[in-house]
A and B are shown apart, each in its own frame.
Chain A
Amino acid sequence: MSYGKYLIVFAQAHHEFRIPELHSVASLYGFDISLPKGEIETDRPYMVVGLADEKHARQLAKRCILIKAIYEFYAQGSTYEELHTRNRANQALWTRYKLDTSFKFFVTAFNHKIPQDRQRQVVESFSYMDFLGKIDMKKPDITLGCFEEYIEKRGLIRDRHDGDGQFQQAYFGRLIEEGSARVLVKMFDVKKRQYFGNTSMESEVSLLMANQTLASPGKLIYDPFLGTGSMAYPVAYFGAQVFGSDIDGRQMRGKGSTPGVFRAAAQYGVSARILDLLTFDVTHNPWRCGGLFDAIVTDPPYGVRAGAKRLGRKKELDPERQALYWEHRNNPRPDDQPYIPPTKPYELSNLAVDLVQLARYLLKPGGRLVFFLPTVTEEYEEIDVQSMLCEGMEVIANSLQDFGSWGRRLVTILKTTTDSYSPPTFDLNTLEDASSSQHVPAHRDFREKYFQGFKPPAI
Chain B
Amino acid sequence: MVRLITHNLLACHAKGCNSNNFPLPFSNVQIEIREAEFNPEFLKAFLPKIEWKALVDTAKQLGDMSLPLEQPEMMDDDFLKSFHHVLLEIHVEEGVMTCPNCKHEYPISNGIPNMLLAEHEIG
The chain B residue with its CB closest to the CB of A327 is B118
Contact of B12 among A217, A275, A286, A291 (CB under 8 A): A286
Contact of A311 among B10, B49, B104, B116 (CB under 8 A): B116
A interface footprint on B103-123 (CB within 8 Å = 1, 0 otherwise): 011111111111111111011
CA distance A288 to B120 in the complex (A): 21
B interface footprint on A260-280 (CB within 8 Å = 1, 0 otherwise): 001000000000110111111
A-B contact number at CB 8 A: 123
The chain A residue with its CB closest to the CB of B14 is A284
CA distance A217 to B122 in the complex (A): 37
Tell me whether B114 and A334 are in contact (CB under 8 A).
yes
B interface footprint on A396-433 (CB within 8 Å = 1, 0 otherwise): 00000000000000000000000000000001000000
Task: Confirm or deny: A342 has a beta carbon within 8 angstroms of a beta carbon on chain B.
Answer: yes
**What residues of A have a CB within 8 angstroms of the CB of B28 in the complex?**
none
Tell me whether B116 and A281 are in contact (CB under 8 A).
yes
CA distance A252 to B111 in the complex (A): 11
Task: Confirm or deny: A98 has a beta carbon within 8 angstroms of a beta carbon on chain B.
Answer: no
- Min distance, Cβ B14 to any Cβ of chain A, angstroms: 9
CA distance A245 to B108 in the complex (A): 14
**What residues of B have a CB within 8 angstroms of the CB of A341 in the complex?**
116-119
Tell me whether A292 and B9 are in contact (CB under 8 A).
yes
**What residues of A have a CB within 8 angstroms of the CB of B119 in the complex?**
311-313, 325, 341-342
CA distance A361 to B12 in the complex (A): 18
The chain A residue with its CB closest to the CB of B40 is A218
CA distance A129 to B52 in the complex (A): 68
Tell me whether A286 and B3 are in contact (CB under 8 A).
no
Tell me whether A332 and B112 are in contact (CB under 8 A).
no
**What residues of A have a CB within 8 angstroms of the CB of B13 in the complex?**
284-286
The chain A residue with its CB closest to the CB of B8 is A288
- Min distance, Cβ B89 to any Cβ of chain A, angstroms: 9
Tell me whether B118 and A332 are in contact (CB under 8 A).
yes
**What residues of B have a CB within 8 angstroms of the CB of A285 in the complex?**
13, 115
Task: Confirm or deny: A287 has a beta carbon within 8 angstroms of a beta carbon on chain B.
Answer: yes
Tell me whether B107 and A332 are in contact (CB under 8 A).
yes
Task: Confirm or deny: A328 has a beta carbon within 8 angstroms of a beta carbon on chain B.
Answer: yes
Tell me whether A279 and B113 are in contact (CB under 8 A).
yes
Task: Confirm or deny: A243 has a beta carbon within 8 angstroms of a beta carbon on chain B.
Answer: yes
Task: Confirm or deny: B11 has a beta carbon within 8 angstroms of a beta carbon on chain A.
Answer: yes
CA distance A341 to B41 in the complex (A): 41
Chain-A contact segment, one of B31-39, B55-63, B76-84: B31-39
B interface footprint on A327-360 (CB within 8 Å = 1, 0 otherwise): 0110011111000011000000000000000000
- Min distance, Cβ A312 to any Cβ of chain B, angstroms: 6
Tell me whether A279 and B34 are in contact (CB under 8 A).
no
- Min distance, Cβ B3 to any Cβ of chain A, angstroms: 6
- A-B contacts, 19 of them at CB < 8 A, read A241-B42, A249-B112, A262-B111, A272-B37, A273-B37, A275-B3, A275-B6, A276-B111, A280-B117, A286-B11, A286-B13, A292-B49, A333-B114, A335-B109, A335-B112, A335-B116, A336-B109, A342-B119, A427-B123
Top 7 A-B pairs, shortest CB-CB distance: A280-B115, A334-B109, A276-B6, A288-B11, A335-B114, A218-B42, A334-B107
- Contact surface of A with B, Cβ cutoff 8 Å: 217-218, 220, 241, 243, 245, 247, 249, 252-253, 257-259, 262, 272-273, 275-281, 284-289, 291-292, 311-313, 325, 328-329, 332-336, 341-342, 427
